[in-house]
Amino acid sequence: MDIIANFINGQYHAPLGENYLDNIEPATGLVYGKIPDSEKADVELAVAAAKKALPAWQAMPLEQRADMLSAIAQEIEARNDELAMAEAIDNGKPVALARIVDIPRAASNFKFFAHACSQFASESHAIAGTAINYTLRQPVGIVGCISPWNLPLYLFTWKIAPALAAGNCVIAKPSEVTPKTAALLGEICQKAGLPAGVLNILHGSGAKVGQAICQHQEIKAISFTGGTTTGAQIAQLLAPTFKKISLELGGKNPALIFADCDFDNTIEQVFRASFANQGQICLCASRLYIERPIYEKFKQALVDKAKALQPNDPLLDDSQMGALVSKSHLEKVLGYIELAKAEGGKVLAGGKQVNLAGRCQKGYFLQPTIIENLDNQAQCNQEEIFGPVITLQPFDTDEEALTLANDSNYGLAATIWTNHLGRAHQLAETLNTGIVWINCWLLRDLRTPFGGMNHSGLGREGGHEAMRFFTESKNVCVKY
């Protein structure tokens, strides 16, 4: 049994209440470990450690702080295989995917912000002949970082790295469903020489330890990534406290596929955008709008590819599709497939749970699923499913494609597939999403603003946006 511990003040600690939650391997459906069911008292311990560490961390010369973040990045890279395997066991994602995406990206997050903090400048405004203003950007203090299960170490570090780079001490909580790589990050920080108390990692449920982090008076900012409903709860909880808050929430991302696209490349990329990580990436395409002249051809090509993609044991090197993260999540996604049928949808491919033989016979596997014939207002076109399920609709004009794409409460990411440059730029300008990819998907430059509009969130991460979030700006006006 793999029992993990909280990482507080540079050391591993059992939860003060001595309560644990089960950790289940999605590919087998079996309990393989225990995680601390932390509570308020554990948060108090972590905050005390962070408070003690804060003055020295803030006073540390920038270069030294940056070197420490680089050392963490190197240690993650050195443990790539072990971390990838841990991620695959915990999350159900193909180990090969974790090896080339999740873990290298976690290292890049630290590497990137090690450099970003030295390039982060603030403004100066002169009042000619009278005064000069300059803006200081100072660390917020102790901050909370709460992350989801779909890209565990990748998104955990996407928050922690800029928070540390900006000079804050961090209390971080990974999803209770995927705690393993976050637990290993403690060891990595020890090895890299991060001072005790600078990063504290608490495990447990959102309702208990997550909420206690949000409510703690000494934690001055909360960076949250997760579902829209949880985000709304946290926003409500924090409104009277005036804490800084960043919310990266759900999506229902449209893909606009035009008849003049590069057909072969578009099929490859749109298929990947639909089903990578079992469709459990907030940026995955889930509503596909296809221009009518290529609708049938594109649909058939997608269906052929979906039928050829078989879920398999994620720990096998050649597995391209693993398990969904949990039984309850699998049931939720299956529920949406049933709902789609009730809403008049036609399942063109997939739609069923997969029962593998051997060690994975009780795992949470689902066929890649393609549905057509649903109205844009159908629940399955409006609500986030967050699994390997996409819907297809034809369109006739650019205006219609835009109207359908924007007909959503969400606004995270959109993709446009066309060789018509003017159309692509015009649509990019008018789509209500925080991110638009043209003829590509998930091509990430960590300097760019990352996040969504409307029900997809509040604020942006990435590059200087993240450095701004994790600092307080203070204007100083000097009269001549």
By CB under 6 A, name the binding residues for ligand NAP: 146-150, 155, 173, 175-177, 205-207, 210-211, 214, 225-227, 230, 233-234, 248-251, 282, 384, 386, 412, 452, 457
Select 303 or 339, whichever has its Cβ closest to ligand NAP.
339
Select 77 or 383, whichever has its Cβ closest to ligand NAP.
383
Least distance to ligand NAP, CB of residue 233, Å: 5
* Closest of 3, 192, 161, 226 to residue 79, by C-alpha: 192
Q: Beta strand 457-458 with 244-248: parallel, antiparallel or unpaired? A: antiparallel
Least distance to ligand NAP, CB of residue 460, Å: 10
Extract the tokens encoding 133. 């203003």
Known catalytic membership, residue 214? no
Alpha-helical runs (H) found in 93-151: 95-97, 103-119
Least distance to ligand NAP, CB of residue 372, Å: 23
Please report how many Cα atoms fall inside a 13 Å half-sphere around the Cα of residue 134, on the Cβ side: 5
Q: Which residue is nearest to ligand NAP (CB)?
A: 206
* Closest of 101, 145, 387, 375 to residue 248, by C-alpha: 145
Extract the tokens encoding 140. 């917020």
Least distance to ligand NAP, CB of residue 277, Å: 10
Write the single-letter amino acid at 138.
Q
DSSP SS3 for 285: strand
Least distance to ligand NAP, CB of residue 340, Å: 19
* Closest of 278, 277, 458 to residue 367, by C-alpha: 278
Least distance to ligand NAP, CB of residue 226, Å: 3
Q: How far is 363 from 187, CA to CA, in rounded Å?
A: 30
Least distance to ligand NAP, CB of residue 148, Å: 3
Write the single-letter amino acid at 374.
L
Phi, psi for 38 (deg, rounded to 5): -70, 160
Least distance to ligand NAP, CB of residue 215, Å: 9
Helix pair angle (292-308, 263-275), 10° resolution? 50
Q: What is the CA radius of gyration of the chain?
A: 23
Q: Beta strand 219-225 with 244-248: parallel, antiparallel or unpaired? A: parallel
Q: How far is 257 from 263, CA to CA, in rounded Å?
A: 9
Among residues 214, 282, 284, 380, which one is catalytic?
Answer: 282
Select 21 or 66, whichever has its Cβ closest to ligand NAP.
21
Q: How far is 273 from 155, CA to CA, in rounded Å?
A: 18
Q: How far is 2 from 17, CA to CA, in rounded Å?
A: 19
Select 190 or 233, whichever has its Cβ closest to ligand NAP.
233
Among residues 25, 39, 87, 248, which one is catalytic?
Answer: 248
Known catalytic membership, residue 282? yes
Select 28 or 147, whichever has its Cβ closest to ligand NAP.
147
Place of tokens 């990748």: 154
* Closest of 150, 225, 228 to residue 454, by C-alpha: 228
> Cβ distance 240 to 163 under 8 Å?
no
* Closest of 237, 220, 214 to residue 43, by C-alpha: 214
Q: How far is 278 from 367, CA to CA, in rounded Å?
A: 9
Q: Which are the catalytic amino acids?
A: 248, 282
